[in-house]
A and B are shown apart, each in its own frame.
Chain A
C-alpha cells in the first residue's frame, strides 16, 4: 500500500481575493471573477482579548484560515489534532532579533523570542481552543502544503485522528524579502476526519508520485499559486469548489509530487 486517505470535512482560506471559503468557492468554480485584493486586518475570534491585541501577523493569518475552517463544522476544535505547515513562520521576528543582535546592548524582547518558535501559531491555537491532542509543525520550504497534507492524512489513517491542517506563510520584511521572495500573505486550512460523516465534502487519498504538478486554471490564480507556499493548495481547492472528482499533483520537492485522488463524498 502506498496511500493514506482521509475524509474532508471543512475548508478555510484567507488569501488576496479569496476571503473565506464560502466566497472563495464561487471564485474557484468560476462563478465569480477573481479580483486580487489585499486582505483586510483580521482579529482572531478565538483568542482572548489581550492575546488578540498582541497577536503577531503570523498568528493572525494562521488563525484566520483555521477559524474559517472550524466554523463550518460541528466537530469540537478542542478534539482535533493539528498539523501546522509553514515554510518560514515568523521572519518578521527573525528580522527584529537579528537586528537587535547587531546592537549594543543586545536587547531581545522575551515575547518576540517565545513567538519566534516555528510552532508558535500551533501553541496559541491549542491554548485558544483547549486542544491537548497531538500537534506538529513542519516545514518543507515551497513544498510545505503538500508535506503538511501528507502528514495530516497519515495522522488520520494511522492514528485514526480527526485533524486540522493549517498552511500559512507571510512575506518577510526587507532585507530578508530579497532573499526569500514571497508575493502575498495567505493561509489555507482543512479539517480531515477518519470516518465519513453526514457532512463530508470529499475523500482525499495521497501518494508520492512523479506526476507533473497541476497548475491553477487561470493566469491570475496561477500567479497566486506561485506567490505563497500555502497557495500550492489552489489546484486542489479548485477541484473541490467544482465538486469534481479527479487527480491532481501538488509539488512535494524539486522532482516529486504528492498525488491527491479526490473522490466525491456522494459517490
Chain B
C-alpha cells in the first residue's frame, strides 16, 4: 500500500495524559498499574486506572455523559490534538473527514450504575440513563464526531481487543475509496465491572501484576485508555501507516489457536500489505496479555514469522490490558519508539518462559527504529497487525 501519513496522535492511559508522560514512563520503567479498588470492585488484582479525568463533560456534550466519553474528552485535550483536528477540518471540510473508533464495552459502566438505581417497584431504569449516548457501542464514535462537528462517515468497530487496531484498516479503505479525504481514528475503553468480573470468571485476571512472557505469568491486569490519531494522505510526516493485516483464528471464542496460525497469517498479511520483509521490522510490540495461552501462542507465531532475533516486547506490564483501546495505545507506543529510537523491555518479566520462541527484550534497547509491528488479538479469534514507520 502507499504509506498513509499519521499527522497527529495522542495517548492517555494509566501512564498519564499525553505522549510525554508515556515516554517518561517507558524510559524510566515506571508501571502505571496499582493495587486499587475501582468503584465497588472487591477482586484482588492490579488495575491501570487513568488519573484526574473523571469530571463532567461540557454542557454542550452532556447528553453523552459516561465514564468512557469523559475519558475520550480528556484524552482529546492532550498533545495539541484538538487543534490538529481543527486544522484538518479547515483543510478538508467537516463532511470529508471520517471518524473510526474502536471500543469493546463503550459506556457499559453507565448501565451498571443504572441497574443499581432501578425503581424498586417498577424495576425501570433511572431517567438519567440514556442507552444510546452511553452504553451503545456507537456512542463513543458519535461522541468524538460531535466534539469536532465532523459529518463524514462515522463508525464504531467492536471486535474485542483488536478493535482499535482495525480502525486504521477501515480508515485507510475509506480514504482510498473516496468516502472521506482524511480520518480521525482512535480507541477508548474504560474500567467497568463487566470486564473485571467477566475476565475473572474466565480465570484470566492475575492477582499478581501482569508479567508478559514470564515463566510464572498469571494472567492480565486490566487497564483503561484512550488514544487517537489523524490519518492524512496529503500530510508530510515522519511516521506513516505502512501496512496492516486482518485475519480470524476460526478456533475458539475465548482462547487463541495454540499453534498461532491466525496470528502468523495476520503478521504475514501486514508484511505483504507493506511490501516489507520480516527483516525490515526493527521492533514488534506484542499483544502479550500475560495469560498462559496468549503469550505461548503468540510466541510460537513470532518464532514462525521472525525467528528469535527480532526485538519484541509487550507493554501491558506498563498500561495493563486496555482491551478495545489496546490497538491504538500500542500503535502510539510504537510511534514513540520510532521517534525516540527506543525499544522497551518486557516490564515485570523476571524469568522468560523458555517455551516462548521470540526475542523478548529483558532490557531496554536504544537504537534507530524505522519500522514497528504491533499485534492486537481479541475474543472471537479476531486478529489485527499494524506496521508503522518512516514512509519510504
Interface residues of B in 364-380 (CB under 8 A from A): 378-380
The residue of chain B having its C-beta at the shortest distance from the C-beta of A1 within the complex is B178
Majority-rule SS of A interface residues: mixed
Complex interface: chain A residues within 8 A of B199 (CB): 113
Q: Does B304 contact A (CB under 8 A)?
A: no
The residue of chain B having its C-beta at the shortest distance from the C-beta of A155 within the complex is B173
Please report A residues at the B interface, Cβ cutoff 8 Å. 1-4, 87-89, 94, 97-102, 106-110, 112-120, 122-124, 126-127, 129-141, 144, 147, 150-151, 153-155, 157-159, 174-176, 178-180, 207-208, 252-253, 255-256
Least Cβ distance of B111 to chain A in Å? Answer: 5
Stretch at the interface among B4-12, B156-164, B212-220, B352-360: B156-164
Least Cβ distance of B63 to chain A in Å? Answer: 13
A-B contacts, 7 of them at CB < 8 A, read A98-B108, A117-B104, A132-B248, A135-B246, A139-B141, A141-B142, A154-B170
Complex interface: chain A residues within 8 A of B254 (CB): 110, 114
Q: Does B249 contact A (CB under 8 A)?
A: yes
The 6 closest A-B pairs by CB, nearest first: A123-B380, A118-B158, A113-B198, A134-B246, A139-B137, A126-B248
Stretch at the interface among B27-35, B116-124, B222-230, B334-342: B116-124
Given the complex of chains A and B, what is the CA–CA distance between A153 and B172 in angstroms? Answer: 14
The residue of chain B having its C-beta at the shortest distance from the C-beta of A176 within the complex is B131
Complex interface: chain B residues within 8 A of A88 (CB): 136-137
Given the complex of chains A and B, what is the CA–CA distance between A263 and B198 in angstroms? Answer: 48
Known contacts A119-B159, A179-B125, A139 near B177 by CB under 8 Å: no
Given the complex of chains A and B, what is the CA–CA distance between A155 and B174 in angstroms? Answer: 9
Question: Which of A1, A88, A97, A133 gathers the greatest number of chain B CB atoms within 10 Å?
Answer: A97
User: Could you tell me if B379 and A119 are in contact, using CB atoms closer than 8 angstroms?
Assistant: yes
Within 8 Å by CB of B248, from A110, A112, A131, lies: A131
Given the complex of chains A and B, what is the CA–CA distance between A101 and B176 in angstroms? Answer: 44
Given the complex of chains A and B, what is the CA–CA distance between A147 and B153 in angstroms? Answer: 8
Known: A100-B197, A101-B193; 17 extra A-B contacts, CB below 8 A, are A87-B138, A89-B137, A106-B193, A113-B194, A119-B158, A123-B248, A126-B249, A127-B250, A127-B253, A134-B248, A136-B246, A137-B380, A140-B154, A153-B177, A158-B172, A178-B124, A208-B152
Q: Does B92 contact A (CB under 8 A)?
A: no
CB contacts between A and B, total, < 8 Å: 210
Given the complex of chains A and B, what is the CA–CA distance between A87 and B123 in angstroms? Answer: 24
Complex interface: chain A residues within 8 A of B261 (CB): 132
Given the complex of chains A and B, what is the CA–CA distance between A127 and B256 in angstroms? Answer: 12
User: Could you tell me if A158 and B156 are in contact, using CB atoms closer than 8 angstroms?
Assistant: no
Complex interface: chain A residues within 8 A of B116 (CB): 102
Least Cβ distance of A151 to chain B in Å? Answer: 6
Given the complex of chains A and B, what is the CA–CA distance between A109 and B104 in angstroms? Answer: 18
Q: Does B382 contact A (CB under 8 A)?
A: yes
Given the complex of chains A and B, what is the CA–CA distance between A175 and B176 in angstroms? Answer: 43
User: Could you tell me if B174 and A106 are in contact, using CB atoms closer than 8 angstroms?
Assistant: no
Complex interface: chain A residues within 8 A of B160 (CB): 117-119
Complex interface: chain B residues within 8 A of A155 (CB): 173
Q: Does B129 contact A (CB under 8 A)?
A: yes
User: Could you tell me if A110 and B202 are in contact, using CB atoms closer than 8 angstroms?
Assistant: yes
User: Could you tell me if A175 and B123 are in contact, using CB atoms closer than 8 angstroms?
Assistant: yes
Given the complex of chains A and B, what is the CA–CA distance between A89 and B379 in angstroms? Answer: 15
The residue of chain B having its C-beta at the shortest distance from the C-beta of A2 within the complex is B178
